[in-house]
Amino acid sequence: MKTVVVGMSGGVDSSVAALLLKRSGYDVIGLFMHNWEEEEGGACTAAEDWADVRAVCGRIGIPHYSINFSKEYGERVFAHFLDEYAKGRTPNPDVLCNREIKFGVFRDYALRLGSAVATGHYCDIDTYCSQPVLLKAKDESKDQTYFLCDTRTEQLNDVMFPLGKLDKSEVRKIATENGLITSGKKDSTGICFIGERKFRAFLSEYLPAKPGKIIDTNGREIGEHVGLMYYTLGQRRGLGIGGVKGEAQQRWYVVDKNLKDNVLVVSCGEGEELLSYGLKTEGFNFIGKVDYPQEFRCTAKFRYRQGEQGVTVKMDGNIATIKFDEPQRAVTPGQYAVLYDGNRCLGGGVINKAFAHPIEL
């Protein structure tokens, strides 16, 4: 009988993934990752999540274990997260966590216990030319291929996604009908494995905040920021800017961060300054065999909660230059550009630069 090791988070998705595999006749093992060392009274929910994992595995009737990858998470994910913020960029630690932890050290460890690994991600998997390819989930509102875009092809060998063909409502119904304690547990949010917390206070524990000037696009000083790392392109809330004499009473938004002079640049209006016509990635990770010419058409997302946009992609080695069919707002360095061809996620790369003018492409 094939043994499948399920990455158990203490949430409803991984709980149902384990249940479905058990029902399908697999020999299932639950494995919980503890990846963040929290001071007493902190916001991390690891102890509560581990208790839920034990309860679910007991209900299903499968063995369960815990493994600590806090050191690896700190070195491979969190250190990069801090470095990116120090550079004034806006990183996505969930993408890196999938590559380095869940489908990195966790997968390697799990395959010493079983012959396959499964998670509760909303996505699907298939093979093309004997290589795994990543597919979108049936429930596109929950699809998580964006967060798996930097996972290497070989990391998806011997991997299963039992929820790929289910809607979230079906998953909760299955959990309820089978008496799983996690059936009504809310979806996790916040930073991967660190959880929900007051972001500014959390970040200030690791990076010194340096207040500075806020200026508008005409160079006029209109306020003071509390530290450039706390702001991202397109941000409208939390700027602390009141009414400014001579300006229409519209909302202000961030259009640039000048690290050299420690200045936050804002504008008031409709956001034309945030529009870009294309981008370049630092590198690009293709998942599975890709039969595309050097230049090709597909769709793309530049942040998770965004519909796919028509683009033209030109590859130069592992560097992707992506031209948008329509100008896009607030394309942010440090985030990921993820490509799609129909139902298939082709992969992704970190956004290095956005082009404010078509002539730059």
Amino acid residing at 299: T
> Is-contact 37 204, C-beta < 8 A?
no
Phi-psi region of 184 (alpha: psi -120 to 50; beta: other; left: phi over 0): alpha
Q: How many CA atoms lie within 13 A of 216 on its CB side?
A: 15
> Is-contact 329 339, C-beta < 8 A?
no
Amino acid residing at 265: V
d(CA 309, CA 298): 8
Look-up of token digits 């519909």: 307
Neighbouring C-beta atoms of residue 41, cutoff 10 Å:
5
Strand pairing partners for 291?
none
Which of 44, 123, 149, 192 is an active site residue? 192
Phi-psi region of 203 (alpha: psi -120 to 50; beta: other; left: phi over 0): alpha
Which of 44, 57, 97, 149 is an active site residue? 97
Amino acid residing at 230: Y
d(CA 293, CA 270): 38
- Nearest in space to 14 (alpha carbons), one of 112, 159, 125, 121: 121
Active site residue 57: no
Q: How far apart are the first and last CA of the chain?
A: 54
d(CA 139, CA 167): 5
Amino acid residing at 141: S
Active site residue 97: yes
d(CA 323, CA 298): 11
Give catalytic residues, as residue numbers.
97, 192
